[in-house]
């Protein structure tokens, strides 16, 4: 009997064929995510789960799958939706897709820095509303990128790639990280998060979501930022306290935010932010290019296929905790 694998969302067909060749797969093909009840039912007896950010894979899901479950492979580099401690206790390998989305995500974060600086989304809305009547020397003025300071919070692969782009665009770059970064691209390590917030014209978040980074940017941090400053979040929504951010944007504590991620996702359609001009809201698309999403799918399948053969996934985040004898 081939092992069973659950794929929780629709995926690239060529990668599903690779899985099908070695496993009995169920793909939840409809566009929307499975409900909690559907997930708990669909995992029964599976050896592998091809998981997405929209699935909360906790101890209950692992127990619903049962002893057969060996691998949970996340389609993404962030895996905060998976309870890794529960996976460790059950000897379940957790895989992810680092590296392949680095440049794509850095491109996107830098695009948000540029579009926020020059108020592109706001200007587009202005034209669509029919409010563009004449060239105005004093309207829709933005910030210069060249010569400004970018603060990067989390200087891993993606943060470092953003630093490279910023340096090439004439920005001074400072960063805050637990350790000195492997690749600084001329960026300076800030003395503290507060120093970084106070000195930066633009702050971009690239840290993982952990208990330490949850709510990292809240009222007192926003107060440290300059009034003309811009906050970019392409990391995870809960790193920012959304209510505090909404208040800060409303009161002019900071000038602008560009958010690819929110808390919750999707952002409720009656959220105050949707009424505000000084924020760009995007639907978690930083890695969404054809090439990158295909590579992410391939890596996720590689992680599952390795585990089905009894090998640790090539990108396994808890390899030191797994003992498959
Ligand atoms: C990632 O790779 O972490 C993206 O945010 C998708 O989850």
Condensed to tens digits (0 to 9), the pLDDT of residues 83-139 reads 999 999 999 999 999 999 999 999 999 999 999 999 999 999 999 999 999 999 999
What would the pLDDT profile of 181-218 be if each residue is shown by its tens digit? Answer: 988 999 999 999 999 999 999 999 999 999 999 999 99
d(CA 180, CA 34): 41
Q: Evaluate if residue 21 carries a pLDDT over 90.
A: yes
Q: Evaluate if residue 220 carries a pLDDT over 90.
A: yes
Confidence of residue 1 (pLDDT cuts 50, 70, 90): confident
Q: Please tell me the predicted confidence (pLDDT) of residue 87.
A: 98
Question: Which of 9, 75, 77, 284 has most ligand 1 atoms within 8 Å of CB, for mutation?
Answer: 77
Q: Which long-range contacts (CB under 8 A, 24 or more apart) does 142-147 make?
A: 142/117, 142/118, 143/117, 143/118, 143/201, 143/202, 143/228, 143/230, 144/117, 145/113, 145/114, 145/117, 145/169, 145/170, 145/171, 146/170, 146/171, 147/171, 147/172
**Residue among 185, 265, 272, 298 flagged as catalytic:** 265
Question: Which of 52, 76, 234 has most ligand 1 atoms within 8 Å of CB, for mutation?
Answer: 76
Mean pLDDT of the chain: 98
Confidence of residue 325 (pLDDT cuts 50, 70, 90): confident
How buried is residue 299: exposed, middle or buried, by Cβ count under 10 Å (0-12/13-18/19+)?
A: buried
Q: Evaluate if residue 290 carries a pLDDT over 90.
A: yes
Task: Give residue ranges with CB within 6 A of ligand 1.
Answer: 53, 76-78, 101, 287
Closest ligand 1 atom to Cα of 296: 2
Verify whether residue 236 is a known catalytic residue: yes
Confidence of residue 235 (pLDDT cuts 50, 70, 90): very high
121 Cα–ligand 1 center, Å: 23
Verify whether residue 265 is a known catalytic residue: yes
Please state the pTM of the whole predicted model.
Answer: 0.97
Closest ligand 1 atom to Cα of 101: 2
Verify whether residue 165 is a known catalytic residue: no
Cis (ω within 30 of 0) for the bond into 31?
no
38 Cα–ligand 1 center, Å: 23
287 Cα–ligand 1 center, Å: 7
The structural domains of the chain, ordered by start, are 3-100+290-321 (3.40.50.720), 102-281 (3.40.50.720)
To the nearest whole percent, how much of the chain has pLDDT over 70? Answer: 100
59 Cα–ligand 1 center, Å: 21
């Amino acid at each position: 009997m081939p092992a069973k694998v659950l794929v929780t969302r629709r995926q690239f067909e060529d990668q599903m064929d690779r899985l099908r060749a070695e496993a009995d797969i169920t793909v939840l093909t409809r566009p929307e995510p499975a409900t909690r009840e559907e997930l708990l039912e669909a995992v029964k007896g599976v050896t592998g789960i091809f998981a997405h950010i929209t699935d909360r894979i906790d101890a209950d899901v692992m127990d619903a799958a049962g002893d057969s479950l060996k691998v949970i492979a996340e389609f993404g580099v962030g895996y905060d939706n998976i309870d890794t401690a529960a996976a460790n206790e059950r000897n379940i390998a957790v895989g992810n897709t680092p590296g392949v989305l680095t440049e794509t995500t850095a491109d996107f974060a830098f695009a948000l820095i540029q579009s926020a600086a020059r108020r592109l989304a706001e200007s587009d809305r202005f034209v669509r509303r029919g409010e563009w009547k004449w060239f105005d020397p004093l309207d829709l003025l933005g910030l210069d990128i060249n010569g400004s300071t970018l603060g990067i919070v989390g200087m891993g692969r993606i943060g470092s790639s953003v630093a490279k782009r910023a340096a090439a665009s004439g920005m001074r770059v400072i960063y805050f990280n637990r350790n000195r970064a492997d690749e600084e691209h001329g960026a300076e390590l800030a003395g503290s998060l507060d120093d970084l917030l106070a000195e930066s014209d633009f702050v971009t978040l690239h840290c993982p979501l952990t208990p330490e980074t949850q709510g990292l940017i809240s009222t007192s941090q926003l107060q440290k930022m300059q009034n003309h400053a811009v906050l970019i979040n392409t990391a995870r929504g809960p790193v920012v306290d959304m209510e505090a951010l909404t208040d800060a944007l409303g009161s002019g504590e900071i000038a602008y935010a560009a958010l690819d991620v929110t808390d919750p996702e999707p952002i409720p359609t009656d959220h105050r932010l949707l009424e505000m001009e000084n924020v760009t809201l995007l639907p978690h698309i930083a890695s969404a290019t054809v090439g990158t999403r295909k590579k992410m799918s391939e890596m996720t399948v590689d992680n599952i296929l390795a585990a089905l053969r009894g090998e640790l996934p090539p990108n396994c985040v808890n390899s030191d905790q797994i003992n498959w004898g």
